[in-house]
Amino acid sequence: MKTYCAVFGAVSLAVASHAFMVGSPLTGVSKAPASSSTVRMAVALPPLPFEDTALEPLISKRTLDIHHGKHHAKYVTVTNEMIKGTDLENASLEEIVKAAKGKNQGLFNNAAQVWNHNFYWNCIKPNGGGKPTGKVAALIDRDLGGFEAFRKQFAADSNGNFGSGWTWLAMDGDKLKIVKTSNADLPLTQGMTPLLVIDVWEHAYYLDVQNVRAQYVDNFLDKLVNWDFVNANLA
């Protein structure tokens, strides 16, 4: 299995379990060399992989300013505060998430939310959505009964995910599955490989569609999903 990699100083850090270019928005790891005037952070806030107005009117600039610039940024800040001076200070984000699971709930919540958001931003793009092509399309046909069946189940799980959480498309061994998680949890801690995710915390959609989560889910599936990213995860 390949590995997402980022460079932090001279140390290569495994961030998740696929191949991505150094400095890609997914990594969330600072690659700037430390200096006497630079505060070195193991976990950093990656830029959005699109302009902050690029998803309008489906996801507004205001939503992105708050979701990315405040919620995501806060998880990054708290994670760095919590690992400072510990054995995890220079660990990769994936290592931090796995080490904290079941042992340090506060650290897990924040570090996992950084990972989840890094991943989520890459799952959406302007003029995305609709039926996929390539390997993921074949796997959806094989394991999930075709695209329409997948879309129906993914939407139902996303709308039915009570409270705050995430709905994922993930590989469990060699089988494609739709997986729901609550709060900050993610398939990575269950030995699965994440391929796609929708954020169903209210701050992801409330300013744009208020309490009509179903509209946000439909927009995600029909107009936003970055299937190229999903296929790249399977490469």
Question: Which segments are annotated as binding site?
Answer: 67, 117, 199, 203
The whole-angstrom separation of Cα 58 and Cα 66 is 15
Distance CA 137, CA 230 (A): 10
Pair 200, 158: CB distance under 8 Å:
yes
* Strand partners of residue 1: none
HSE value, Cβ hemisphere, 13 Å, CA-based, for 154: 28
Q: Which segments are annotated as binding site for Mn(2+)?
A: 67, 117, 199, 203
The pairing of beta strand 175-182 with beta strand 165-172: antiparallel
Measured in degrees and rounded to the nearest 5, phi and psi for residue 61 equal: -60, -40
Peptide bond before 25: cis, by omega within 30 degrees of 0?
no
54 conformational bin, left if phi > 0, alpha if psi -120 to 50, beta if neither? alpha
Tokens of 96: 């931090």
All residues at 6 or more sequence positions from 106 whose CB lies less than 8 Å from its CB, including other chains: 82
> Quick one: how far is CA 97 from the chain centroid?
13
Classify 3 as helix, strand or coil: coil
